[in-house]
A and B are shown apart, each in its own frame.
Chain A
Amino acid sequence: MNGTIIVNGAQIEIDFDPADTLLDVLRDNGHTEVKRGCSKGECGTCLVLLDDLLVNSCQVFAATALGKKVTTSSGLNGDGRPHVIHESFADAGAVQCGFCTPGMVMATHSLLTTTPDPTDEEIRLGLVGNLCRCTGYVKIFDAVKLACKRMRKDG
């Protein structure tokens, strides 16, 4: 099968098997910022935006994404530069091995889009689909709060 998806604003032609997932085609097309942690939709390392919906790209068929816009962590700011959420994760000490971080960043973006000023509980629930084994989540919570503060100031 083949078709087109728009990844971080760039149209790409994909050639894929019916069983291929969005994660498969993203990684095969050089978007290795989308990580594969479990292939079961249980770890959140492959989170991307499909149009405006946050999805585990390992759980979406590539065919489903045809003609749609996909946003990954490296494309979050639109210009290839770090987004304030990336900077907040780095500044808060929330990045250790970094394998979960692109997914965490996408979940944070999604949370702060719908809930610009989340409570602690809303942050916990907003990131519940993202596992991290390095940080114990503490500094990730700090990062989300820092991003929230910075985005309010900017916005």
Chain B
Amino acid sequence: MADYTTVGKSVKKIDALSLAMGTEPFTADYPLDSPLVLKFMYSDLAHADIVSLDASRAEALDGVAGVFHFWNCPDTFYTTAGQGYPEPSAYDNRLFDHKVRFVGDRICMVAAETSEIAEEAISLIDLEMDPLPALFDPELARDPDSPRLHADGEYMPIPVRYQPEENVCAGLNIPLGDVESGMKEADFIVEHRYTTHQASHAAMEPHVVACYLDPRDRVVLVTATQVPFHVRRIVGRVLDIPIQRIRVIKPRIGGGFGGKQEVLLEPYAALATLRTGRSTFCEFTRSEVFVSSRTRHPMRVDFKMGVKNNGEITALVMDALMDSGAYGSHGLTVLSNAGAKVLPLFNKIPNMLFTGSSVYTNLPVGGAYRGYGATQSYFGFNQHIDMIARKLGVDFLDYCKKWHIKEGETSDIFRILGEGKEGVSQVIGSCGLGECIDVGAAAIGWKEKRGRKQRGANGAIRGVGAAVMMQGSGIPKIDMGGASIKLNEDGSFNLAVGATDLGTGSDTILIQIAAEALKAPPEKFEILSSDTDLTPFDVGAYASSTTYISGGAVKKCALAMLDQLQSVAAEALEVDKETLRHEPECFTDPASGKSFTFEQIGYRSFYAVNQAQLQANASHTSDVSPPPFLAQFAEVEVDPETGVVRVVEFVSAVDCGQPINPILAEGQVEGAAVNGISFALSEQFVFNRDGRVTNAAFGRYGIYTTADMPRMQTFLVPTDEENGPFGAKSVGEIAINGPAPAIANAIFDAVGIRLYDLPMTPERVFQALQESRSQEEPSA
């Protein structure tokens, strides 16, 4: 590995201390000039026409500045998905509609002097609703007798399948080779159905936006977003105002995980500010976050694999049905990612067929969520591989090591499956999965524990399981990040990036990349990120792109700055530029031994000779998306009397290329892993028969607390990715994919039962145990 000065060091996160004190402003902390408070009125019905809406009593209430609804607002169709343009998501959402499509859908919004007045105003709105039959089962979505959710001119902005007349908001059919003959070659076939459930991102900071007009009447949005530039574009389009008239500022963000990749509140705040001329503020309650923001898309995945006795998988058929909920945000791309981030991992399968549909139901809306389809798909995939390995009588880890994709290899899936279009061919340049498997196996004690069914003190039975996975690093040929750097006369630099630090520490990591390239200490950099007036464009923080794509831009930009610095130094030292040696914060002429520092360059270029502001700009895209790889291991304890599964120990060993900042990279893996464990075992949305979420609160949703924590071990297994900045790949999403299958495989190792459905609650585990007992001992 290369010898770096700043890269690879756990530089302290630049905002850590001020965040801990509480002095870094988040959106809700921005002082506003007596803002109007915005509150939404939501539907109690899962599916209904709004026959009439009379807001006159509400509007007459003292302190109400406006009531906004379908009949007085723009009716432009758009998607809330903060993706590249045109978005690969259906334009099926309006600010307000004459129809509601789930319990928690927006009916109208009140702007008032206080939230109490806004709530009172909502109670004064006279509504007449005409209930419609509701669709809750995605399996019935295409049934001709099922109600249709969207039939009013909704459309897909890109040329892909969109059939609202069948409740299909996206569909896929990806053939590779000939699966029929592939299945015939097989000695045995393993086939099963797996389901995964809704989940809330549960970022500690709720969705929140503040809006005001600047002195020249431009719209300024301060917002908790992962995608400031997409916010600007979408708000401009929905409200029909020039992008130029909008400024989006992202302050500190209290976590996103994909939930803030949605342009949810910003158009409403901008609308209310433009209509009233007042500052506006809108902050979701926790219950609104659970019900009316976005969830992880539930998915049913059928895997069928034909296997030869030598272990070769001759054919794979994958069919996925994704429940998009009432709107189709990310409906195509989460579905395609369920294949694109999973199927290349075992790249020696010659015949594959991946089909899938994403369908509308009258349930809360799906959206981007860390893992983005891969989480849903790996749950079944890794259990399937575990079953195959057991049937073959080989160790799961040995099987994975033999068949996973290696350096120098490719997969046709990379080429044929992209985001709403063909993919991009790539050859794997770095893959440390084999080493990850070895490191993790040693840490968990795989050889000593696998298949031992050790009894715990309380009669619980122990087992170990594992899962292997890959993700990507940005979206190839789509994601773009920009950076600019300018020199100050003290030899310090201002770095401006469009990239969005939503709590990951990307501001710190991007400084480290610039610092490494310029051979200057990270303390010499001030960063400004995500202000659409002041920083270059960036698509935003999603698709595991920031370190790889935005970091690539920063590295390019720093090298361009270095070139300018070198020119000035050469001029000052009166030597050929090429002869200069780049040393920490200076250039040295080896012949004379004279040095010229960055500070001297700064003063010279500001005040003395050939005066100029040294400034560099760069943008970065990538033709490839180098996957990080990960092996995760769970040791569980299953109580056969109660069905309670306790994770005793959890191990992750990740290849994210060269970690730029190891402590922050570990933090990404640990946070994602615990989110994944919590998703696998305890988190769930509970609905009543009317489609209402009955547990929209932290206390009843099942998020892991400190008391639930297993022992955790995390290992970084560095590789050198030639396409990444200083060898880096992504690390943000991948570790949420493995806990569910690793735990499921561990449960099987302990008690011999398979859990095909998430979450693996004590009730489900107990029921599966009962069923397996009754099969063993058939009653007379």
- Give the B-binding residues of A (Cβ under 8 A): 27, 32-40, 42-43, 45, 72-74, 82, 85-87, 89-91, 93, 95-102, 105, 123-125, 127-141
- Give the A-binding residues of B (Cβ under 8 A): 10, 12-13, 15-17, 19-26, 28-29, 201-206, 252-255, 257, 283, 285-286, 502-505, 663-664, 666-667, 670-675, 697-699, 703-707, 709, 712, 714
For the complex formed, measure the closest distance between the CB of A65 and the CB atoms of chain B, giving whole angstroms. Answer: 18
B286 proximity list for chain A (CB < 8 A): 37-40, 42-43
For the complex formed, measure the closest distance between the CB of A154 and the CB atoms of chain B, giving whole angstroms. Answer: 18
For the complex formed, measure the closest distance between the CB of A80 and the CB atoms of chain B, giving whole angstroms. Answer: 9
Provide the bound-state CA to CA distance between A73 and B19, in Å: 10
> Which listed residue (B15, B17, B28) contacts A36, Cβ 8 A?
B28
Report 27 cross-chain contacts, Cβ distance below 8 Å, ordered by A residue: A32-B26, A35-B22, A45-B204, A86-B17, A91-B12, A93-B663, A95-B15, A96-B504, A96-B505, A97-B253, A97-B502, A102-B20, A102-B21, A102-B22, A123-B706, A125-B707, A128-B705, A130-B705, A131-B705, A133-B201, A134-B255, A134-B671, A135-B671, A136-B670, A137-B706, A138-B714, A139-B663
B205 contacts A97, CB within 8 Å?
yes
B667 proximity list for chain A (CB < 8 A): 93, 96, 134-136, 138-139
Provide the bound-state CA to CA distance between A35 and B257, in Å: 19
B697 contacts A33, CB within 8 Å?
no
For the complex formed, measure the closest distance between the CB of B685 and the CB atoms of chain A, giving whole angstroms. Answer: 16
B698 contacts A38, CB within 8 Å?
yes
A100 proximity list for chain B (CB < 8 A): 204
A97 contacts B16, CB within 8 Å?
no
A134 proximity list for chain B (CB < 8 A): 204, 255, 503, 667, 671
> Which listed residue (B19, B205, B257, B697) contacts A95, Cβ 8 A?
B19
> Which listed residue (A42, A91, A101) contacts B699, Cβ 8 A?
A42
B13 contacts A133, CB within 8 Å?
no
Known contacts A42-B697, A98-B20: does B707 contact A124 (CB below 8 Å)? yes
Most buried by B among A34, A42, A95, A131: A95
**Leading 9 A-B pairs by shortest Cβ distance:** A33-B22, A97-B503, A98-B19, A99-B254, A136-B674, A90-B16, A32-B29, A136-B670, A93-B663
Known contacts A36-B28, A42-B699, A134-B255: does B16 contact A99 (CB below 8 Å)? no
Most buried by B among A89, A90, A128: A90
B670 contacts A139, CB within 8 Å?
yes
Tell me if A's interface is mostly helix, strand, loop or mixed: loop
B698 contacts A96, CB within 8 Å?
no
B698 contacts A136, CB within 8 Å?
no
B22 contacts A32, CB within 8 Å?
yes
Most buried by B among A36, A133, A137, A138: A133
Report the nearest A residue to B289, measured CB to CB.
A38
Most buried by B among A40, A73, A137: A137
B698 contacts A124, CB within 8 Å?
no
B15 proximity list for chain A (CB < 8 A): 95, 98
> Which listed residue (B24, B673, B707) contacts A98, Cβ 8 A?
B24
B206 proximity list for chain A (CB < 8 A): 36-37
Provide the bound-state CA to CA distance between A72 and B21, in Å: 9
Report the nearest B residue to A127, measured CB to CB.
B706
For the complex formed, measure the closest distance between the CB of A108 and the CB atoms of chain B, giving whole angstroms. Answer: 10
A133 contacts B204, CB within 8 Å?
yes
A133 contacts B675, CB within 8 Å?
yes
Provide the bound-state CA to CA distance between A86 and B504, in Å: 18
B712 proximity list for chain A (CB < 8 A): 136, 138
A135 proximity list for chain B (CB < 8 A): 667, 670-671
Provide the bound-state CA to CA distance between A124 and B705, in Å: 8
Most buried by A among B204, B254, B285, B666: B204
B254 contacts A128, CB within 8 Å?
no
Q: A33-B22, A45-B204, A93-B16 are in contact. List 5 more A-B contacts (CB 8 A).
A: A35-B22, A129-B705, A134-B255, A138-B709, A139-B663
B17 contacts A90, CB within 8 Å?
yes
Known contacts A73-B21, A95-B19, A97-B502: does B201 contact A128 (CB below 8 Å)? no
For the complex formed, measure the closest distance between the CB of B652 and the CB atoms of chain A, giving whole angstroms. Answer: 10
For the complex formed, measure the closest distance between the CB of B288 and the CB atoms of chain A, giving whole angstroms. Answer: 11
B257 contacts A138, CB within 8 Å?
no
Known contacts A130-B706, A133-B671: does B23 contact A35 (CB below 8 Å)? no
A97 contacts B17, CB within 8 Å?
no
> Which listed residue (A86, A93, A133, A141) contacts B703, Cβ 8 A?
A133
B204 proximity list for chain A (CB < 8 A): 35, 37, 43, 45, 97, 99-100, 131-134
> Which listed residue (A91, A95, A136) contacts B673, Cβ 8 A?
A136
Most buried by A among B21, B202, B670: B21
Report the nearest A residue to B501, measured CB to CB.
A97
B698 contacts A131, CB within 8 Å?
yes
B203 proximity list for chain A (CB < 8 A): 97, 99, 133
Most buried by A among B29, B254, B285: B254
Known contacts A96-B667, A96-B671: does B699 contact A74 (CB below 8 Å)? no
A124 proximity list for chain B (CB < 8 A): 706-707, 709
A33 proximity list for chain B (CB < 8 A): 21-23
Provide the bound-state CA to CA distance between A134 and B503, in Å: 8
> Which listed residue (A39, A40, A82, A125) contacts B20, Cβ 8 A?
A82
Known contacts A90-B12, A101-B19, A135-B670: does B28 contact A128 (CB below 8 Å)? no
Report the nearest B residue to A36, measured CB to CB.
B28
B502 proximity list for chain A (CB < 8 A): 97
A97 contacts B21, CB within 8 Å?
no
Report the nearest A residue to B24, measured CB to CB.
A98
